[in-house]
Amino acid sequence: MPWHLAATFRDDEVMFEIVSARFIAPDIKMFGVRAARVAEHWSPGQFVIVRVNAIGERIPLTVADVDRTTGVITLIVQAVGKTTSLLNQLDSGDDLADVAGPFGAPSDIEDYGTVVVVGGGVGTAIAFPTARAMAEAGNRVIVIVGGRSGDLVILATELEAFAAEVVITTDDGSRGRRGLVTDALAEVIDREQVDRVVAIGPIPMMKAVADLTRPDSIPTVVSLNPIMVDGTGMCGGCRVLVDGSTKFACMDGPEFDAHQVDFDVLAIRNRAYRPFETEQLRRFGACS
C-alpha cells in the first residue's frame, strides 16, 4: 500500500473534541483538537481534511504541531470564507465532525546549511513545523515573517525559540520593518550564502520569492494551496502545473520546486468558484 494511504486514518470511533481555542490575531484562531491517530502519524508539511459538521464541505488545514502524549493536534485557521468563519466560531468543548489525515508528502528535511523560511500571513503557521524541523536537523534557520499590519504577524515569539534570526516585515510599517518579505529576503541573499528557501503564503508572494531566487539558482520550495476535496488523489480538484506536467498537490505535494510551478494557472484555478464562495459567505453573514 502506498505510504500516503497507509498512514491515513479517520478516527471513526471518537469525536474530534476541541480542547483549546484562542484568537492569536484578528480572524486567526489556534485550536487544539483531539485526533490521536493523526498526531501519531504526522510529519511536518502534512495536513488534514476537516469537516466542521456532517453537512459541511471538506477543507484542508495544515497541522501546525502535535502532542503525541495527549493526542492533540494544533490547527491555526484564518477566517476567509464560510467554512473557516464557521470553524472560528467554535470553542473549547465543541467537536469537529471529521479530521482525516495526515495527507500530503512530508517536507524534505535535511541539513542543507542556511535555510531561509519565508511566511506570509497564515502561511507562517503552515511554515512553522517545517522551520522547526529544519532547525532540529542542524540548519541555521532565518525566518522572515510578513503581514499586512503588525496585528496580523503570528508566531514570532514561537519562531524565536529555535531560529537564528526572525525578521518581521509589515506593509504599513506598524511592526518590524516596512516593506515586503522579498525586500528582507533580498538583503539576506546579498549578505550571506543561502542554501535553501522555503516560502509559504499568498500566491503572489510565493511567485515573487521564486522570481527572486531563480537567478542565483537557490533551491526554493513552496507549499501550494489549490482547492482540495478528498486529499487522496481521487477528485482531481488540486491539479497544479509543475514543470509542464500535471501534479496532484494532495499527493505529489503540497510542497514543490518553486522554480517549476506555474503560479498563474494556480491563481486562475483558485478563483474558479469565487462567485459561489462570496455568495455562501454573504448568506452565512446574514444568518449569524
Q: What is the DSSP letter of 58?
A: P
User: Between residues 179 and 237, which has the closer beta carbon with respect to ligand FES?
Assistant: 237
Q: Does 270 bind ligand FAD (CB under 6 A)?
A: yes
Identity of residue 91? D
Binding mask 217-256 for ligand FES (x = CB under 6 A): -----------xxxx-xxxxxx---------x-x------
Give dist(CA 82, CA 62) in Å, integer: 18
Q: Is the sign of the CA dihedral 228, 232, 237, 241 positive or negative? A: positive
- Choose among Mg ion, ligand FES, ligand FAD, none what residue 44 binds, the Cβ cut-off being 5 to 8 Å by kind: none
Query: Scanning residues 236 to 265, which ones bind ligand FAD (CB under 6 A)?
Result: 254
Cβ neighbors of 243 (< 8 A, separation 6 or more) are: 257, 260
Question: Please, what is the minimum distance in Å from the beta carbon of residue 276 to Mg ion?
Answer: 8
Of 62-81, binders to Mg ion (CB under 5 A) are: 81
- Figure out which of the listed residues 8, 74, 78, 83 binds Mg ion, where binding follows CB under 5 A: 83
Which neighbouring-strand residues pair with 146? 120, 169
Distance of alpha carbon 135 from alpha carbon 163, whole angstroms: 7
Residue 45 as a binder of ligand FAD (CB under 6 A): the answer is no
For residue 194 the three cell numbers come to 543561502
The entry of ligand FAD, Mg ion, ligand FES, none that residue 139 binds, CB within 5 to 8 Å by partner kind: none
CA pair distance 288, 282, nearest whole angstrom: 10
Among 189, 227, 235, 241, binds ligand FAD (CB under 6 A): 227
Under rule CB under 6 A, residue 155 binds ligand FES: no
> What is the C-alpha end-to-end distance of the chain, expressed in Å?
44
| 3-state secondary structure at position 32 | strand
- C-alpha to C-alpha distance for 223 and 69, rounded to whole angstroms: 28
* Residue 60 vs 147, nearer CB to ligand FAD: 60
Positions in the binding site for ligand FES (CB under 6 A): 228-231, 233-238, 248, 250
Provide the binding-site residues for ligand FAD, judged by CB under 6 A. 47, 59-62, 76-78, 80-84, 122, 125-126, 225-228, 254, 270, 274, 277, 281
